[in-house]
Amino acid sequence: MTDGFVPWPAEDAARYRAAGYWRGEPLGRLLRDAAAAHGGRTALADPAARLTFTEWDTAADRLAAGLVELGVRSGDRVLVQLPNRAEFAVLCFALFRIGALPVLALPGHRESELRHLCDLATAVAFVTVDELDGHDHAATARTLLKTCPSLRHVVVVGEPGGSGDDSGDDSGDGDTVPYRALAEGREPADLPGPDPSGPALLLLSGGSTGLPKLIPRTHDDYAYNARTMAAVCGLTAADVHLAVLPVAHNFPLACPGLLGALTAGAATVLAPNPSPPEVFPLIERERVTVTALVPPLAALWTRAVEWVDADLSSLRLVQVGGARLPEETARALPGALGCRLQQVFGMAEGLLCATRPDDPEEVVATTQGRPVSPGDEIRIVGSDGAEVPPGVTGELLTRGPYTLRGYYRAPEHNARALTPDGFYRSGDLVRRAPSGNLIVEGRVKEQINRGGEKISPEEVERHLLAHPGIAQAAVVGVPDEVLGERVCAFLLPAPASQGGEGTEGTESTATPPPLSPAALGEFLRERGLADFKRPEQVETVTSWPLTGVGKIDRRALAAIAADRARTAR
């Protein structure tokens, strides 16, 4: 059906259906069913809106009609970049119902990432917000509309701005429309349901080689993902889920997140800001019971109970995942926040491991859980590809009813990222603890995990190399007390003066531009790279440490960076 989507082999699909994992239900139906069962109860709350399940359901139908009128069709890809607010949830379901695929960008992404996603997915529309954290998203959207060949429409939540005209744009071959004009006053359109075994949405991969890849998640597999995590967390209609991480992330979206809460008839509160002075009173007011955090936030919240006065007694479960949770935080969190901890080792590609309510405290504090589905298959292999003996660390390979069989439109990458028999190579190093749970020991993939946000070194390096003062660059993750890892750029400066010999000569006598973190940050910002990828530490070198096979030794660089940071203090 969709080009570039790798389906599961027929026999595996049949097995997943027979086991009841895949129910043949399009995601749009989850909301229809919740509206039928829980209609008048609160489903979504953000600072500006409060919607019941029925209101959400109706709003999704109306918006779907507006998008169809705009020209969005089944199978189309629509780039979505919205913060944690109700429109995100309404839009996703409008697209699910049309059978169009949301491509979920993060609020922090900028022109460089958005352009890549737009081009890779050949998105026909881009839905974003007018302004967020001082960034004019509508302006970025207008630039993309002019320069991305596939893009025909920009939809802006808030004020589209620009020409000052809501309905038009001066590019001539695309238009900018306000979200509210699409959503309001329409009758639901009669839409044929999408094929539940086909892709429903495209999630972003962390990316280790080059630019981020897109992960197709089907209606069947994502519904199963959400329902299974809801069951593991014991979610019921009495729960109130708080989405505090950007909801475009798989974790707060579907693990169990917004979608899992929906399957249980539980409300989701969307928080625009995770900082304790803002979010603790929200927890008190909304009587939040469950939320998902990354380790730096878990540590911050654990300490913040000392200085932010709020009643957190409604909280029963805090999930923490995305990066290794320090044992110290794992032990302190339950007492400080007055709730249970669940460690989650998950990935947008699929596999979810979680600790369980019946795991002993010690196991919850020291392991990253075990697979949530009996259909999950795990192999832990050595560098030779053979399974390692029990308890020994190796790379985690996995296959199952909600783990991808291929990235979207990436056949060459897929040949490396998956084994011939369909196991996804996670790039994570794990071992099985005596309890049977997994412990994440590290990774083999070249990726920086900055407090749960994944960064591809190669992507940042490519931008750095565009700087006239930089001849070579290597970007590495350095251990960081707060973030787990921070981004460090090692630079080999370009020779300052090389007049003659075919060079233009204009810059030959000029002082090379400064290579401080601030100056480089500004350079990268101008190139449209997300702020969270900017190097916080910059080191210059005159030569590279090399590995035995002559590649830049990134481990050695990380050690040098840590060392230099220590002595600089």
Q: Which residues bind ligand J2J (CB under 6 A)?
A: 206, 250-251, 255, 321-324, 343-348, 352, 368, 426, 428, 440, 443, 449, 452, 454
The candidate with the shortest Cα–Cα distance to 258, out of 277, 281, 278, 235, is 235
Which residue number, 222 or 345, has a Cβ lying nearer to ligand J2J? 345
- Residue 348 CB, shortest distance to ligand J2J, in Å, is 4
Written as one letter, the residue type at 420 is: P
Cα–Cα distance measured from residue 249 to residue 321, given in angstroms and rounded to the nearest whole number: 12
**Closest CB to ligand J2J among residues 66, 346:** 346
Q: How far apart are CB 115 and ligand J2J at their closest, in Å?
A: 21
506 CB neighbour count, 10 Å cutoff: 8
Let me know: does 325 contact 367? Beta carbons within 8 Å.
Answer: no
Name which of 216 and 321 has its Cβ closer to ligand J2J. Answer: 321
Question: Strand ranges (DSSP E) for 369-452?
Answer: 370-371, 377-381, 394-399, 424-432, 438-443, 448-450
Residue nearest to ligand J2J (CB): 346
Cβ 454 to ligand J2J shortest distance, Å: 5
CB of 550 to ligand J2J, least distance (A): 27
Toward ligand J2J, which CB reaches closer, 72 or 341?
A: 341
Phi, psi of 508, rounded to the nearest 5 degrees? -65, -30
Question: Can you tell me the distance from the alpha carbon of 174 to that of 181, in angstroms, rounded to the nearest whole number?
Answer: 16
CB 73 within 8 A of CB 215: no
CB of 295 to ligand J2J, least distance (A): 8
* Choice between 154 and 417, CB closer to ligand J2J: 417
CB of 35 to ligand J2J, least distance (A): 26
Task: Tell me which amino acid residue 234 is.
Answer: G
When the beta carbons of 337 and 473 are compared against ligand J2J, the nearer one is 337
Tell me the β-bridge partners of 26.
Answer: none
102, 121 contact by CB (below 8 A): no
Question: How far, in Å, CA of 41 to CA of 569, rounded?
Answer: 54
Q: Which is nearer to ligand J2J, 51 or 103 (CB)?
A: 103
* Residue 207 CB partners (closer than 8 Å, separation 6+): 213, 447, 454, 455, 456, 459
Identity of the residue, 68 or 354, whose beta carbon is nearer to ligand J2J in the bound complex: 354
Asked whether the beta carbons of 64 and 189 are under 8 A apart, the reply is yes
CB of 190 to ligand J2J, least distance (A): 35
Residue 412 corresponds to which tokens in the numbers above?
Answer: 């060459």
